[in-house]
Amino acid sequence: MGLPLMMERSSNNNNNNVVELSRVAVSDTHGEDSPYFAGWKAYDENPYDESHNPSGVIQMGLAENQVSFDLLETYLEKKNPEGSMWGTKGAPGFRENALFQDYHGLKTFRQAMASFMEQIRGGKARFDPDRIVLTAGATAANELLTFILADPNDALLVPTPYYPGFDRDLRWRTGVKIVPIHCDSSNHFQITPEALESAYQTARDANIRVRGVLITNPSNPLGATVQKKVLEDLLDFCVRKNIHLVSDEIYSGSVFHASEFTSVAEIVENIDDVSVKERVHIVYSLSKDLGLPGFRVGTIYSYNDNVVRTARRMSSFTLVSSQTQHMLASMLSDEEFTEKYIRINRERLRRRYETIVEGLKKAGIECLKGNAGLFCWMNLGFLLEKKTKDGELQLWDVILKELKLNISPGSSCHCSEVGWFRVCFANMSENTLEIALKRIHEFMDRRRRKEKMIN
């Protein structure tokens, strides 16, 4: 991937220029060469199917929410928000919608998003629709914020383990670095003030300017919410160092018990000091909570007017389709529907989580105590032959090839402790989850028998 291209020469060409692509283009910061994506390949080549391929690879590396589609489909069928375009009345509104490319976004849609975000937080924070900037997915939102908050070669501090996509989203085209805030299982991977200081110092020692801290709350891959005290400490830290705080709350609607989630918005709600508020920015999306990743609906919510204005201008490169805004505006402003959806979605995710955690426990496998998200954080450290990254990858390979399960090794999430794996549970049917658990049981049984024989 890093080789400049050798070109055919035209007969008149005397110079020896080889046309190269940009440095960004030939770098591998897009991250697709990591094992996180290698498992995908194995799945693509041999995908599990209940009837047609029952021994295929089960995809457990994809954090998608497929448990609540029926709720959306029922709503859409009944209310048909595209009816105004597809109705027999001659599609009134179509032209206006198709022409609408204002980077402010449809007002009705922004209001609906603000209202939805408030509901998820149980009304504990208010969202001003005029501070909502729309982007094509959280992928774009995170990159865009990075462009705005940091210069090339600056750094954002990100607690480990973190979503592998951040390596690309925060760094690839922006030229910004990630400096990890190391977290470990001794305190359930929560961020400590010491870890924060240490990360900051590491950056300073390398002469790198830190511009902000970026957290995911609830966390991917941990599947756990960040404690209120930690959020307060984080904000203090950012004020002291005069840097930004970005909170990616993309899984906020997937917390199993609403009371266990504290959004940074709640903390800010009680702060009057503008110089504190202005460094806080929230990223959200409908990809996880609503299970609509294809629709590319992301948002940046900032308490900083300058950031809102700049982000809005920059969103020109990544606007949300007006067709999609229109369709979702009515659905998300239907408070009766959203209240019901949020409640049932939480309930179903909780049950899935309990199923998988109990199933793993029976097989002798422990998970981090989680309370949110579409995955659990599984500890297989005790199975490693070598307590190294290589050892972890070896085990991952065995799980992929022998059990035919694609799960995500902790090292792909930059976890500083080896042996942890992220296992997704919401992107398949309950039956498939049972099959996956069965395979794990059988694997663990085989291992125990083997160990007995050796001993």
Partner 1 sequence: MSQSANQLLSKLASSDKHGEASPYFDGWKAYDNNPYHPIHNPHGVIQMGLAENQLCSDLIKEWIRKNPQASICTAEGIDSFSDIAVFQDYHGLKQFRQAIAAFMERARGGRVSFEAERVVMSGGATGANETLMFCLADPGDAFLVPTPYYAAFDRDLRWRTGIRIIPVACNSSNNFQVTKQALESTYLKAQETGIKIKGLIIANPSNPLGTSLDRENLESLVSFINDKQIHLVCDEIYAATVFAEPKFISVAEIIQEMVHVNRDLIHIVYSLSKDMGLPGFRVGVVYSYNDAVVSCARKMSSFGLVSSQTQSFVAAMLSDQRFVDNFLVEVSKRVAKRHHMFTEGLEEMGISCLRSNAGLYVLMDLRQMLKAQTFESEIALWRVIINKVKINISPGSSFHCSEPGWFRVCFANMDEDTLQVGLERIKDFVLGDKASKNENYNCICNNKRENKKRKSFQKNLKLSFSSMMYDEHVRSPKLMSPHSPLLRA
The footprint of partner 1 on residues 7-46 (CB under 8 A) is: 7-8, 10-13, 15, 17-19, 21-25, 30, 32
Tell me which of 185, 321, 379, 394 binds partner 1, using CB under 8 A: 321
Find the helix packing angle between 389-401 and 35-45, rounded to 10°: 10
In the complex, the smallest distance separating the C-beta of residue 386 from partner 1, rounded to whole angstroms, is 33
**CA 310/CA 308 separation, integer angstroms:** 6
69: contact with partner 1 by CB under 8 A: yes
Residue 8 tokens read as 């055919």
In the complex, the smallest distance separating the C-beta of residue 210 from partner 1, rounded to whole angstroms, is 11
**Which among 250, 342, 399, 440 is annotated as catalytic?**
250
**Which among 169, 248, 289, 334 is annotated as catalytic?**
248
Nearer to partner 1, 33 or 339 (CB): 33
The footprint of partner 1 on residues 358-417 (CB under 8 A) is: none
Each residue of 373-398: b (16+ CB within 10 Å) or e? bbbbbbbbbebeeeeeeebbbebbee
Q: Is residue 288 flagged as an active site residue?
A: yes
Q: Is residue 454 flagged as an active site residue?
A: no
Stretch that binds partner 1, among 220-228, 301-309, 407-415, 428-436 (CB under 8 A): 301-309
316: contact with partner 1 by CB under 8 A: yes
- As a 3-state breakdown, the chain gives helix, strand, coil percent values, each rounded to 5, of 50, 15, 40
Tell me which of 281, 296, 404, 422 binds partner 1, using CB under 8 A: 296
Q: Is residue 250 flagged as an active site residue?
A: yes
Mind giving me the DSSP string for 180-245? EE---GGGTT---HHHHHHHHHHHHHTT--EEEEEEESS-TTT--PPPHHHHHHHHHHHHHHT-EE
The footprint of partner 1 on residues 202-261 (CB under 8 A) is: 211, 242-244
In the complex, the smallest distance separating the C-beta of residue 317 from partner 1, rounded to whole angstroms, is 5
Nearer to partner 1, 96 or 236 (CB): 96
Nearer to partner 1, 34 or 321 (CB): 321
Residue 48 has, within 13 A of its CA and on its CB side, a CA count of: 22
Asked whether the beta carbons of 241 and 200 are under 8 A apart, the reply is yes
Tell me which of 161, 164, 253, 293 binds partner 1, using CB under 8 A: 293
Residue 131 tokens read as 């501070």
**CA 99/CA 325 separation, integer angstroms:** 13
59: contact with partner 1 by CB under 8 A: no
- Residue 365 parent element (H or E): none
In the complex, the smallest distance separating the C-beta of residue 61 from partner 1, rounded to whole angstroms, is 14
Q: How far is CA 280 from CA 143, 212, 264, in A?
A: 16, 10, 8
429: contact with partner 1 by CB under 8 A: no
The footprint of partner 1 on residues 102-161 (CB under 8 A) is: 136-137, 139-140, 143, 147-152, 154
33: nearest Cα among 412, 396, 391, 395: 412
In the complex, the smallest distance separating the C-beta of residue 94 from partner 1, rounded to whole angstroms, is 5
Q: Is residue 163 flagged as an active site residue?
A: yes
Tell me which of 225, 247, 287, 412 binds partner 1, using CB under 8 A: 287
Which phi and psi angles does 53 have, rounded to 5°?
-150, 65
Tell me which of 37, 64, 441, 444 binds partner 1, using CB under 8 A: 64
Asked whether the beta carbons of 427 and 350 are under 8 A apart, the reply is no
**CA 34/CA 384 separation, integer angstroms:** 20
Find the helix packing angle between 69-79 and 335-362, rounded to 10°: 160
Tell me how far the alpha carbon of residue 361 is from its chain's centroid.
Answer: 26
Stretch that binds partner 1, among 71-79, 121-129, 217-225, 360-368 (CB under 8 A): 71-79
295: contact with partner 1 by CB under 8 A: yes
Stretch that binds partner 1, among 67-75, 123-131, 187-195, 415-423 (CB under 8 A): 67-75
Tell me which of 42, 48, 59, 97 binds partner 1, using CB under 8 A: 97
Tell me which of 33, 46, 53, 95 binds partner 1, using CB under 8 A: 95
The CB density around residue 71, as the number of other CB atoms within 10 Å, is 17
Tell me which of 257, 313, 340, 438 binds partner 1, using CB under 8 A: 313
Residue appearing with tokens 């090339």: 152
Enzyme catalytic residues? 163, 248, 250, 288
